[in-house]
Structure formats: C-alpha cells, structure tokens
C-alpha cells in the first residue's frame, strides 16, 4: 500500500514542474545514453572494419527496427491503458493489461526471431545489396534474430518501470546497458577484430541483460503492477492496439522511409552516399532518442491525469515538454553546424577526405530538420497519452513517411544529392504545421470532455 500511495502522490499531487523534471531528466539521460550503444557500433565498425560494413548496417537497420515495431505497439498501447486505469485507481485491471501484454510480446518475439533468421538473405537481396556488403548485412541481422526473445521485451519493460514511478531505476539500468555495450564493442571489434557480427553481439548481450534487470522488480513484487493470470476481452485488445498504432506505424514508416532514402542515395551517389547517410543517422539517433524520451517520459503522468480527469495538470505538463523540446532541438542544430566535422570524423577511417566532406555537408543540411521535428515528435506522444490514437497516427505517419516520400519525389530532381539531405527539413516543417492544427482540436476536445478543476 505504501508503494501505491507514493505512486498516487507522484503522478496525481506533485507540483507540475517538480514532476516534469523528475520524469523528464532521468528519461532524457536514459534515452541519450541508450542511443550510445548504436553510436558505439558506428564508431567501432567505421574505424576498424570500414565503410562497407557501415553501409551494410545502415541497409538492414530499418528491417531490425521493423521487427521491434509490433512489440512497441503493444508496449505503448498497453502503457496508455495501464496508466489510465491507475489514474482511476483500478489496480487489478492495470495488472491484467500488463500481464497479458508481456505474454503477447514474448510470443511475437519468438516468431520475429525465426522469420528474421531464415529470411535475412532474401531480404538483403531485395534491398539491392551485393557482395561483401550483403554478407555483412546478413551476419548483422541474424545476430539480432537469435536474441529476439530477450530483446523485444526490453523497451516494453522499461515503459512499465516508468509507469510504476521507477524512473531512476530505469535510468541506471539503461546507463549500465549502454556502457556495457561500449566496452564489449571495444573488446570484440577493436581488440579481437571479430567483424561486423560481433558489433551486433555486443548490443544483444547487453540488451538481454537489461531485460533481466528490468523484469526483476515485477518478479520481486511490491509494485503497483504485478504478474497475474489474464485474458482480455477482444474489445480491450483492439483498444490496446489502437493506442499503440501510432508507434507501430511510425516505426514502420521510418524504416520504409530509410529504405527509400538508401535507394535514392544509391542511385545518386553509390555506397559512398549511403555511408555518409549512416553517419547522419547515427548522430540523428541521439537527438531523436532524447526527444522521444522527453515525450514518452510524460506519457504515464499525462495518461494518469487523463484517467483522473485532471485537465489543468495535463496542460501544465505538456506545455513544459513542448518548451524544452524546442530548446533542445535548436541548440542541437547549432552544435551540429559548429562541430559537424569532428562529429563525422568519429565514424570514418582516416584517409577518406571525400567521404568526410560529404558526411559533414549532409549532417549540416539534415540538421535543419531539428528546427521543426521536435513539434511532431512531442505532440504525437501527447496525443497517444490522452487516448487520441488517430491524431497520433496521422501525425506520425505524415512526419515519418508521407511527407518525406513527397520530398524525395521532388527535391532530388531539383537539387540532386542536396535534395535528399533537405527532404527531412522540408517534411518536418510541414509536419509541424499539421501538429499545430491537431493540437488545437485536441485542446478543444479536452476542454469540452474534462471539467475544469476547482
């Protein structure tokens, strides 16, 4: 009962600014440091194995992200419903949704692992890879497939920890996973020279360990959520999928978009351009992780207060997220223009001045997207948290696929390779306008549906 009272006091009564920083700062640290395990792959692979391996990882990474998409959909959708039930103080129903979702994610992860392992050669060929790049891509993808049952549950369990208010536990777990990954990358790739598959092995071992650490508080007990026998009604399952649909389609759309970018770059600049794009994506992953971490960190609090019908707290918390998102994004863009060359050089072997110059220019043009992308990312998380999956899905698909796809059809024809790098800034600017329009409708709906607090 003490844990439940602490949970209610944190999400329902703590001052908005204090709650905001209590949730956001650990999550930003967690997401930023977690992205380092991807960065570590890029640095060690680029420096010790070469540009072909860097291109191979970039080609299959969208497929790996697609494999996480279904589990992420369940994780996000269940997190919204769990938080709303906790806001209503229905702890039994919250635990039923939690338990059912964990089982469903594990079943899906086994299926994904089997498909990924046996279908990887054919999928890599469909992406247009040949020779050494193709063989390295298959090695990398198969390693992730082997560990899938312990990987796909990691991000879901991290969500559930934050729902229970264990934000610091989540943060330290992610920090240790990332540091462990960097150390193993240095050992496997840098010291032992085991090749591209060992970079994937380093990530998989650390994420698998993180999954075991994440599940322990729920096995031990004493949390607002606990494992119970649960079978949900079909309507409840459909609602769960609906709430997580924006996350699912955003992941799928981002992966498809990345493949479209790779295709355009192969046509315009060959593997050199794809390698430059991989450098951009590695650095971009840190920025996107921090922004996503900010939005997702407030989801439990927003959904809890939506369930508790506390409209004022919802507006107060979201306003703080939007302001911080804008500040982080603009500051990051300035840093990338100022320090583009030293950042890009981390991923590129010495003696490749053309690749370095191309990567720096691509990074600077692409970073213009940060002037606008924060709005779509943070707003989409807000719509998901307040049980508006249609708003979140429209915005997520628009920013991740539809608008970039339109940009790729137009801008490269006008500007050549520069048009590819400028596609995301143009798409994110258009998405920011869409986010503003949807936000007006969402605020009006909340004002009408939830009573004003006394």
Q: Could you read off the pLDDT of 166-200 as tens digits, one per residue?
A: 888 888 888 888 889 889 988 998 888 888 889 88
Is the model's pLDDT at 435 over the cut of 50?
yes
CA dist 363 and 142 (Å) reads 30
Q: Which residue has the higher pLDDT, 388 or 58?
A: 388
Average of per-residue pLDDT values in the chain: 84
Q: Kindly tell me if the per-residue pLDDT of 452 is higher than 70.
A: no
Place of tokens 């920011």: 432
Quote the pLDDT of residue 394.
87
Given this model, what pLDDT does residue 8 score?
A: 74
**φ/ψ (deg, to 5) at 15:** -55, 135
CA distance 60 to 138: 8
Q: Are 162 and 23 in contact (CB under 8 A)?
A: yes
Per-residue confidence band for 3, with pLDDT thresholds at 50, 70 and 90: low
- The neighbour count for residue 308, using CB atoms within 10 Å, is 19
How far the first Cα of the chain sits from its last, in Å, is: 28
What residues contact 335, with CB distance under 8 A and at least 6 apart? none
- Across 374-392, average pLDDT: 87
Q: In whole angstroms, what is the distance from residue 380 CA to residue 398 CA?
A: 11
DSSP assignments along 160-176, one per residue: HHHHTT-HHHHHHHHHH
Q: Which residues contact 75 (CB under 8 A, 6 or more apart)?
A: 101, 105, 155, 156, 159, 244, 247
Report d(CA 94, CA 85) in Å as an integer.
Answer: 6
**Is residue 344 scored above 90 in pLDDT?**
no
Provide the pLDDT for residue 147: 93
Q: What is the pLDDT of residues 51-71, one digit of tens each?
A: 788 778 878 887 887 777 778
Report, as an integer, the average pLDDT of 86-97: 86
Mean pLDDT value across residues 358-372 = 89
**pLDDT per residue as tens digits for the range 124-176:** 888 777 788 888 889 999 999 999 988 888 888 888 888 888 888 888 888 88
248 vs 201, higher pLDDT: 201
Which is nearest to 425 in space by CA: 444, 411, 439, 409?
A: 411
Q: How far apart are alpha carbons 109 and 281 in whole angstroms?
A: 25
User: Do 29 and 175 contact (CB within 8 A), yes or no?
Assistant: yes
Q: How far apart are CA 250 and CA 252, in angstroms?
A: 6
The stretch 367-387 carries a mean pLDDT of 88
Give exposure, 164-197, as e/b (b: 16+ Cβ within 10 Å). bbbbebbbbbbbebbebbbebbbebbeeeebbbb
Closest CA to 213 of 264, 173, 156: 173
Q: Which two three-digit tokens encode residue 48?
A: 């010790």
pLDDT > 70: percent of the chain: 96
Q: Is the dihedral of CA 186, 37, 347, 130 positive or negative?
A: positive
Token pair listed for 121 = 């050669």
User: Which token pair is 415?
Assistant: 């500007």
Rounded Cα distance between 235 and 239, Å, is 6
- pLDDT band with cut points at 50, 70 and 90 for residue 411: very high
Q: From 116, 120, 126, 136, select the one nearest 58 (Cα to Cα).
A: 136
pLDDT score of 454 = 37
**pLDDT of 218 over the 60 cut:** yes
User: What 3-state DSSP class applies to 57?
Assistant: helix
For the cut 80, the answer to whether the pLDDT of residue 246 exceeds it is no
For residue 437, what are the contacts with CB-CB under 8 A and spacing of at least 6?
none
d(CA 374, CA 214) in angstroms, rounded, equals 28
| Res 271 pLDDT > 90 | no
Q: What distance in Å separates the CA atoms of residue 306 and residue 441, rounded to the nearest whole number?
A: 16
Q: What is the pLDDT of residue 410?
A: 92
- Specify the pTM: 0.74
**Per-residue pLDDT, 434:** 93
């Amino acid at each position: 009962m003490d844990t439940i009272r602490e949970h209610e006091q944190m999400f329902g009564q703590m001052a908005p600014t204090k709650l905001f920083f209590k949730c956001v700062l650990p999550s930003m640290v967690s997401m930023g440091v977690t992205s380092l395990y991807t960065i570590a792959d890029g640095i060690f692979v680029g420096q010790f194995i070469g540009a072909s391996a860097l291109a191979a990882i970039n080609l299959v990474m969208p497929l790996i992200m697609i494999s996480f998409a279904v589990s992420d959909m369940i994780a996000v959708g269940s997190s919204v419903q769990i938080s709303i039930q906790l806001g209503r103080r229905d702890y039994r129903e919250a635990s039923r949704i939690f338990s059912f979702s964990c089982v469903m994610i594990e079943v899906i992860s086994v299926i994904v692992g089997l498909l990924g392992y046996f279908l990887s050669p054919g999928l890599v060929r469909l992406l247009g890879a040949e020779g050494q790049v193709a063989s390295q891509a298959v090695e990398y993808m198969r390693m992730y497939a082997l560990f899938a049952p312990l990987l796909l549950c990691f991000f879901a369990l991290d969500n559930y920890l934050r729902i229970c208010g264990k934000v610091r536990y989540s943060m330290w777990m992610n920090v240790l996973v990332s540091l462990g990954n960097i150390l193993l990358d240095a050992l496997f790739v840098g010291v032992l020279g085991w090749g591209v598959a060992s970079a994937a092995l380093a990530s998989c071992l650390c994420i698998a360990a993180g999954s075991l650490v994440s599940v322990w508080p729920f096995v031990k007990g004493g949390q607002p959520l606990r494992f119970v026998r649960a079978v949900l009604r079909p309507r409840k399952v459909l609602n769960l999928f609906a709430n997580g649909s924006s996350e699912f389609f955003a992941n799928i759309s981002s992966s498809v978009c990345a493949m479209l970018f790779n295709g355009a770059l192969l046509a315009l600049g060959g593997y050199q351009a794809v390698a430059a794009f991989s450098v951009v994506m590695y650095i971009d992953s840190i920025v996107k992780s921090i922004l996503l971490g900010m939005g997702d960190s407030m989801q439990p609090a927003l959904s809890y207060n939506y369930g508790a019908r506390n409209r004022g707290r919802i507006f107060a918390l979201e306003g703080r997220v939007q302001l911080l998102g804008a500040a982080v994004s603009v500051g990051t863009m300035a840093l990338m223009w100022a320090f583009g060359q030293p950042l890009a050089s981390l991923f590129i072997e010495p003696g490749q001045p053309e690749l370095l110059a191309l990567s720096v220019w691509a990074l600077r043009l692409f970073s213009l997207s940060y002037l606008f992308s924060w709005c779509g990312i943070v707003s989409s998380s807000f719509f998901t948290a307040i049980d508006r999956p249609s708003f979140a899905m429209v915005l997520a698909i628009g920013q991740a696929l539809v608008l970039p796809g339109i940009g790729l059809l137009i801008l490269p024809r006008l500007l050549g390779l520069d048009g590819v790098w400028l596609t995301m800034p143009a798409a994110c600017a258009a998405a920011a306008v869409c986010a503003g329009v949807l936000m007006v409708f969402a605020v009006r709906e909340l004002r009408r549906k939830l009573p004003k607090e006394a």
